[in-house]
Amino acid sequence: DVVLTQSPLSLPVTLGQPASISCRSSQSLVDSDGNTYLNWYQQRPGQSPRRLIYQVSKRDSGVPDRFSGSESGTDFTLRISRVEAEDVGDYYCMQATLWPVTFGGGTKVEFK
């Protein structure tokens, strides 16, 4: 199975400052169709997960443009350009290129 290693486990942030989360894959996530099925999810306390980013860098409808995704080989990054209060929660990367679908272990974003 593909292992997704997220770092850091915990990310203390400051309002208005940038933040980034890393997700490293144990294998290439480029599919035979040319797409890379790497998504990012946000889970606020007490809520269901919400998809923010799909196929590495495509932002879902309604997701603020302060969220962005990028890749460099098998390393993927979720960036928040300016952290806002509502961004507190857990963030997960997920790959669906290779079966079974796997998730990263999660990163907890909290205020300093």
Partner 1 sequence: EVQLVESGGDLVQPGRSLGLSCKTSGFIFGDYGVTWVRQAPGKGLEWVSVVRTKRYGGRGDYAASVKGRFSISRDDSKSIVYLQMNSLKTEDTAVYYCVRGARGLDVWGQGTTVTVSS
Where on the chain is the footprint of partner 1 (CB under 8 A)?
A: 37, 39, 41, 48-51, 54, 60, 90, 92, 94, 96, 99-106
The least distance separating partner 1 from the CB of residue 102, rounded to whole angstroms, comes to 7
The least distance separating partner 1 from the CB of residue 72, rounded to whole angstroms, comes to 22
Question: Cα–Cα distance between 76 and 97 in angstroms, integer?
Answer: 14
Nearest to 41 by CA among 1, 2, 6: 6
Respond yes or no on whether the N-terminal peptide bond of residue 100 is cis (omega within 30° of 0): yes
The least distance separating partner 1 from the CB of residue 105, rounded to whole angstroms, comes to 5
The smaller minimum CB distance to partner 1, of residues 77 and 107, is found at: 107
Question: Cα–Cα distance between 104 and 75 in angstroms, integer?
Answer: 12
The smaller minimum CB distance to partner 1, of residues 42 and 77, is found at: 42
